[in-house]
Structure 1
Amino acid sequence: MPGRHNDLPWQLLLRYHNQLSKVDLYNLSETQTNIPKLRTGLVGGQFWSAYTPCDTQYKDAVRQTLEQIDVIHRMCHKYPETFQCVGSTKEINASFKNGKVASLIGVEGGHSIDSNMATLRLFYQLGVRYMTLTHSCNTPWADNWLVDMGDDPAQSNGLSTYGKVSMCH
């Protein structure tokens, strides 16, 4: 059974500063996710979220997102009996057949690419297979969901022209 997005990489940053040597995902009890829970829940696929907060926009969002992508890859390498980093349907199917959790990467928030399509393309090469246009902050090319709630001012009235062109990537 495929899972949805999972914030374990963010928890690894907050609790362990991405030092996987200090984490045992078989016995991790401080988070909602660990290997026994994934197995008990019959999770066969998971989108791991590469998330960085809105206050990193225009600062170090790209670097922090790369660190999140890196910890996901390192998780797959540390626990190869459980996780297989994948990027295609063929790889997902092979992972299922081998009894592993097909591990895909999603980026939570367009601010993570610093409005740069080259960064988006490089993220794809690193295994990212989806990116939300916004998370909870506007980007120069798209408004976030808080605009609809009246909690944030609109900047692009949905998608800017650049945002519409970017959708082709």
Structure 2
Amino acid sequence: MADLQDDLHPATTEVGRMDDLTDSDPAEAAAVAPEPYQPVSDPDDAPLVRARAVLAAHPVADGYSGLPRALGNLPWYDLDLGENAVEADVPRLRRGQVGAVFWSLHLPEGARGDRALGATLEQLDLAAAVVAAHDEGLRPAGTAGQIADARDRGRVAVLFGPAAATALGDSLSVLRALHTLGLRVLTLTGTSWAGATGLTRFGEEVVREMNRIGMVADLSHASVPTVRRVLAVSRAPVLFSRSAALALRPHPANLADDLLTEVGEAKGLCMVPLSAEQTGPTVRDVADHLDHVRALAGAECVGLSGTYDTGGAHPQELGDTSCYPRLIAELLRRGWDESQVALVTWGNVQRVLRGADFTARAARQRRPASTATIAALDG
């Protein structure tokens, strides 16, 4: 996988609002220029004050939110004013200094075939409508430049995905159509071509086509053979939208130490969830996982995943999206450099999105849209 350089700061160049997220401006990668990093001066060394100062420059890019499904169960809501029925309304996102969030479009258990595709389309439609109805606080985004632009305009950038690969069936045309509708992350599990034994030949073609169109592969809950094969095949960075350290807490989505090392070597991104089930009952447990992943994969390969509005319990002091400064303060107490914190909150997601965009531009010059079928490759 290409080893792409990331800078800590987002662009200040205004790229404008884009309702169609299919392709960004070809000059966008050049327009996103780094700013010099300025360490926060805090003579009192108060970690929470320092945390808020760091987040003011480098807000949280939250890797996983279940908000679309949560809203689908409500008869009425107003995210701008505040909504007690959810954990991530706009006021709490702002208090938590969240600059971007990935909205999960995962499906009810057992959804397959046309039902899976239909449910994914319904969630995409709902997500787009919610963002449009709350445009004073939220803004759709699909690239690193667009999330930086949203932040500069005082909005929280919303990226659509991850969604389940079962929505595709076995069709690369459906993959491209979902991308055109705004989907940016796909979880590679639960299909005949990405299962317990790894990727089939068709599965490898799916990954190549994702690289060509700029869709990011999510490997949380994927089998170890699938993870290793995707790391070998993909030319763009991959992410784990909600995975912590298996050595610290057993969970099917958590990663063993050898895999964390491989993720670091491949410059992937492990987004540690704020989940009591996966990381433990306290903010210190979450920080332990972040320490562990940083030690094995590197600070440039760690991110944050709130997993808010998914129905699960959260660690103490991290009950909703307003609580992110408490976690960042804990990292600063442990001696994390502010530059490393800036990577974990914002810079690493920017790197992955820029990597996907860079890889897609190069791939589209080399190959047309794939017309491969599962029958031809795996039959």
Query: TM-score category by the smaller chain?
Result: 0.7 to 0.9
Displacement of 1:8 in angstroms is: 0.3
Distance 1:158 1:54 in 2: 21
Query: 1:28 touches 1:34 (CA, 8 Å); kept in 2?
Result: yes
Distance 2:161 2:96 in 1: 21
**Secondary structure of the structure 1 residue equivalent to 2:198:** coil
Q: Which residue of 2 aligns with 1:151?
A: none
**Secondary structure of the structure 2 residue equivalent to 1:102:** strand
Letter in 1 for 2:124: I
1:70-149 to 2 correspondence within 5 Å? 70-134=125-189, 138-143=190-195
- Structure 2: any 5+ residue segments left out of the alignment? 1-58, 210-379
Distance 1:124 1:114 in 2: 15
Displacement of 1:52 in angstroms is: 1.1
Q: Which residue of 1 aligns with 2:77?
A: 23
**Secondary structure of the structure 1 residue equivalent to 2:161:** strand
1:6-21 to 2 correspondence within 5 Å? 6-13=65-72, 15-16=73-74
Distance 2:162 2:87 in 1: 20
Match of 2:121 among 66, 78, 86: 66
Displaced runs of 4+ in structure 1, greater than 3 A?
A: none
Letter in 2 for 1:46: V
Match of 1:4 among 60, 63, 70: 63
Query: 1:48 touches 1:103 (CA, 8 Å); kept in 2?
Result: yes
Query: 1:65 touches 1:107 (CA, 8 Å); kept in 2?
Result: no
With normalisation by structure 1, the TM-score equals 0.82
Query: 1:62 touches 1:112 (CA, 8 Å); kept in 2?
Result: yes
Match of 1:41 among 87, 93, 96: 96
**Secondary structure of the structure 2 residue equivalent to 1:47:** strand
Q: Superposition RMSD on alpha carbons, in Å?
A: 1.4
Distance 2:174 2:84 in 1: 35
Deviations along 1:21-76, one digit per CA (max 9) or x if unpaired, are x2122331122211111011011101111121241112411111011111111111
Distance 2:148 2:177 in 1: 24
**Secondary structure of the structure 1 residue equivalent to 2:93:** helix
With normalisation by structure 2, the TM-score equals 0.38
Distance 1:32 1:38 in 2: 9
> Does 1:160 pair with 2:215?
no
Q: Evaluate the alpha carbon distance shift between residue 45 and residue 27 of structure 1 in structure 2; reply closer, same or farther with a 3 A threshold.
A: same
- Structure 1: any 5+ residue segments left out of the alignment? 144-153
Higher relative contact order (CA 8 A, sep 6+): 2
Distance 1:78 1:140 in 2: 38
Displacement of 1:142 in angstroms is: 0.8
Q: Which residue of 2 aligns with 1:146?
A: none
Letter in 1 for 2:208: C
Displacement of 1:107 in angstroms is: 3.1
Matched residues, number: 149
Q: Percent identity?
A: 30
Displacement of 1:128 in angstroms is: 1.1
Query: 2:105 touches 2:164 (CA, 8 Å); kept in 1?
Result: no
Distance 1:139 1:49 in 2: 18
Higher Cα radius of gyration: 2
